[in-house]
């Protein structure tokens, strides 16, 4: 599993569904560079069980993300048509109606592969035939990307394990606090609590450049 922290987030252009039902071609995270922080998260499949709980939980916290000037973008290996159908299915029927943030279609699985969250890989068998080993879906990866397009935080869960949206918000708060004040945030830090000065010259110099 690749560690992308400190590196530029992989670039892509893909189909997406935005505002709960509008198709967009060549959707890219580049539109946010210089403007917003981004929470970019992967989930395995539309019309499943754990996935809608996460997607709806992100939607329930959208005001908190928007207040922090953070864009939330989801992605799975489903087609844009599957995304559209799920977005237009009522919650009581297993849908995610009411979700407004973009859902990206990674039908080719290249975005998942470039972010190294694909839960398997293509290989050749003894007969020289290509086959896929593992699950051809994305793990539950989440990437916090700053306004320069650099990944500052990542977490990847196995397929059965849902994520904490509150923790994602806490990481946004920690990054934005550091960017504003230059102080580093200790374990379990929350807004309103004391942060720390990086006193070591090497650490201070490194942090000042990042």
Domain limits, CATH 3.40.30.10, in the chain? 14-161
The catalytic position among 17, 29, 39, 51 is 51
> pLDDT digit of tens for each residue in the chain (210 aa)?
689 999 999 999 999 999 999 999 999 999 999 999 999 999 999 998 777 889 999 999 999 999 999 999 999 999 999 999 999 999 999 999 999 999 999 999 999 999 999 998 888 888 888 888 889 999 999 999 999 999 999 999 999 999 999 999 999 998 998 887 765 655 665 665 555 566 544 444 444 444
Across-strand partners of 145?
Answer: 38, 151
Alpha carbon of residue 157 to chain centroid: 12
In this prediction, residue 204 carries a pLDDT of: 43
The predicted model scores a pTM of 0.88
Q: For strand 22-27 and strand 14-18, is the pairing parallel, antiparallel, or unpaired? A: antiparallel
Angle made by CA atoms 168, 154, 189, in degrees to the nearest 5: 45
Q: In the structure encoding, which two tokens stand for residue 141, read together?
A: 């990866």
Q: How confident is the model at residue 186, as a pLDDT?
A: 56
Strands (E), 43-88: 70-76
Contact between 175 and 197 (Cβ < 8 Å): no
Residue 14 region, left (φ>0) first, then alpha (ψ -120 to 50), else beta?
beta
Is residue 75 part of the annotated active site? The answer reads: no
What is the pLDDT, as a whole number, of residue 132?
84
CA distance 15 to 184: 38
Query: Which residue, 95, 121, 116, 120, is CA-closest to 42?
Result: 116
What pLDDT is attached to residue 18? 98
Which pLDDT value is given to residue 128? 87
Architecture of domain 14-161: 3-Layer(aba) Sandwich (3.40)
pLDDT of residue 30: 96
DSSP structure class, residue 10: P
Distance CA 156, CA 146 (A): 18
């Amino acid at each position: 599993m690749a560690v992308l922290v400190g590196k530029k987030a992989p670039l892509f252009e893909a189909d997406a569904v935005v505002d709960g039902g509008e198709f967009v071609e060549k959707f890219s995270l580049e539109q946010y560079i210089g403007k917003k922080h981004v929470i970019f998260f992967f989930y395995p499949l539309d019309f499943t069980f754990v996935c809608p709980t996460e997607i709806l939980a992100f939607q329930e916290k959208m005001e908190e993300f928007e207040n922090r000037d953070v864009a939330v973008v989801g992605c799975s290996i489903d087609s844009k048509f599957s995304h559209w159908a799920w977005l237009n299915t009522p919650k009581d029927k297993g849908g995610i109606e009411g979700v407004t943030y973009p859902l990206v279609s990674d039908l080719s699985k290249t975005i998942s592969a470039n972010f190294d969250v694909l839960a398997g890989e293509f290989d050749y068998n003894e007969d020289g035939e290509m086959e896929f080993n593992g699950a051809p879906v994305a793990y539950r990866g989440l990437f916090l990307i700053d306004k320069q397009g650099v990944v500052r935080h990542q977490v990847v869960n196995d397929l059965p394990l849902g994520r904490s949206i509150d923790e994602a918000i806490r990481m946004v708060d920690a990054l934005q606090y550091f960017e504003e004040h230059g102080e580093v945030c200790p374990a379990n830090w929350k807004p309103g609590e004391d942060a720390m000065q990086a006193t070591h010259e090497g650490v201070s110099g490194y942090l000042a450049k990042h």
